[in-house]
């Protein structure tokens, strides 16, 4: 399938057009950013939000009992020590101006402080339109069950039992040529009791190029039903169904976000461990 002139406008697709190379994707990222910077007029105390349902990430703590070598927080740590009270105050402030925000609670390992996670989720529900909230965890504590949707990290360094987290998303980072259709199918088939699946590219802040073959392979596989394909200002994702399960492939280009010229625009909000509020992953 071809790109039929829609590239001048940012939108979701129900198919994946042919992707010739990563340069093409980067061009689309810039088109999306240009469109949003032109179209989005609403001003907040942080600038101009480029998404109505903007993603707010609370990097709750830098503490983690695991040592995954590709962890972005270890490579590019956020600021300050864990301050539970300030995180709550900052979240309330952000939600006052962004009631349709989506919230991700991450770390470090949020499971170290399950009671605080629950407080954050309660604050989110009470001070927003409760669009969506999830917790990124490596499975340290089952006390997180029932608080919000769980994205459970599984990899060669952390191997929690997803059966202890009912209906969780089995989330894993695929490195290099591991990001291929056969490997994705294998993981889904072997762990079919999981609620859903998330496959993420290993994204380094210095990496400027990625293999695009997975996008074309997903579109061309007759056992996979594409749900949504989207290129944003620094990300690409596809959601699809395979063997009775819903799955997602995501590439977040951290080099692109770091080097995008946002002006006073912002595409995500970060609340640091000490409660500092930043935008565009800063």
Residue 23: inside a domain: yes
Residue 1: inside a domain: no
Give the span between the Cα atoms of 239 and 221, in whole angstroms: 14
Number of domains present in the structure of the chain: 1
Alpha carbon 117 to its chain centroid, in Å, reads 18
Give the span between the Cα atoms of 232 and 11, in whole angstroms: 9
pLDDT of residue 151: 97
The tens place of each residue's pLDDT in the chain, 282 residues long, gives 555 544 543 578 999 999 999 999 999 999 999 999 999 999 999 999 999 999 999 999 988 888 777 666 555 666 678 999 999 999 999 999 999 999 999 989 999 999 999 999 999 999 999 999 999 999 999 999 999 999 999 998 899 999 999 999 999 999 989 999 999 999 999 999 999 999 999 887 788 899 999 999 999 999 999 999 999 999 999 999 999 999 999 999 989 999 999 999 999 999 999 999 999 988
pLDDT of residue 186: 98
Domain enclosing residue 268, as ranges: 12-277
pLDDT of residue 6: 47
CB within 8 A of 102, min separation 6: which ones?
53, 54, 55, 56, 131, 132, 133
Residue 217: inside a domain: yes
pLDDT of residue 98: 98
pLDDT of residue 79: 67
Give the span between the Cα atoms of 217 and 18, in whole angstroms: 10
Could you give the residue ranges of the DSSP H alpha helices within the chain? 22-39, 72-75, 84-97, 114-127, 181-190, 213-220, 254-259
Number of residues that make up the chain: 282
Residue 42: inside a domain: yes
pLDDT of residue 78: 64
Integer-rounded Cα Rg, in Å, for the chain is 18
pLDDT of residue 72: 65
Residue 156: inside a domain: yes
pLDDT of residue 243: 97
β-pair type (265-266, 245-252):
unpaired
Secondary structure E strands in the chain:
48-49, 55-59, 102-106, 132-137, 149-153, 169-174, 196-201, 225-231, 235-242, 245-252, 265-266, 268-271, 277-279
Give tens-digit pLDDT for 126-138: 999 999 999 999 9
Residue 282: inside a domain: no
Q: At 154, which CATH number?
A: 3.20.20
Give tens-digit pLDDT for 84-124: 999 999 999 999 999 999 999 998 999 999 999 999 999 99
pLDDT of residue 207: 83
């Amino acid at each position: 399938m071809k790109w039929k002139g829609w590239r001048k406008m940012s939108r979701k697709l129900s198919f994946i057009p042919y992707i010739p190379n990563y340069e093409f994707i980067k061009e689309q990222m810039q088109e999306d950013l240009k469109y949003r910077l032109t179209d989005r007029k609403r001003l907040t105390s942080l600038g101009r939000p480029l998404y109505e349902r903007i993603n707010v990430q609370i990097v709750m703590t830098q503490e983690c009992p695991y040592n995954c070598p590709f962890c972005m927080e270890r490579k590019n740590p956020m600021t300050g020590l864990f301050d539970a009270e300030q995180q709550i105050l900052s979240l309330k402030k952000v939600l006052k101006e962004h009631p349709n925000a989506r919230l991700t609670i991450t770390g470090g390992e949020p499971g170290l402080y399950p009671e605080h996670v629950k407080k954050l989720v309660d604050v989110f529900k009470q001070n927003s339109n409760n669009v969506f909230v999830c917790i990124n965890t490596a499975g340290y504590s089952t006390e997180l069950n029932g608080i919000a949707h769980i994205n459970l990290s599984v990899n060669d360094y952390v191997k929690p039992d997803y059966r202890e987290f009912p209906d969780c998303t089995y989330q894993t980072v695929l490195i290099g040529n591991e990001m291929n259709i056969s490997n994705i199918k294998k993981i889904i088939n072997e762990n079919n009791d999981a609620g859903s699946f998330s496959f993420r590219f290993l994204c380094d802040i210095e990496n400027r190029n990625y293999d695009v073959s997975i996008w074309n392979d997903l579109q061309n596989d007759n056992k996979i039903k594409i749900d949504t394909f989207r290129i944003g200002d620094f990300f690409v994702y596809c959601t699809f169904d395979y063997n009775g399960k819903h799955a997602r492939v995501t590439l977040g280009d951290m080099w692109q976000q770091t080097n995008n010229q946002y002006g006073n625009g912002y595409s995500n909000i970060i609340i640091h461990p000490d409660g500092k509020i930043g935008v565009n992953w800063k």
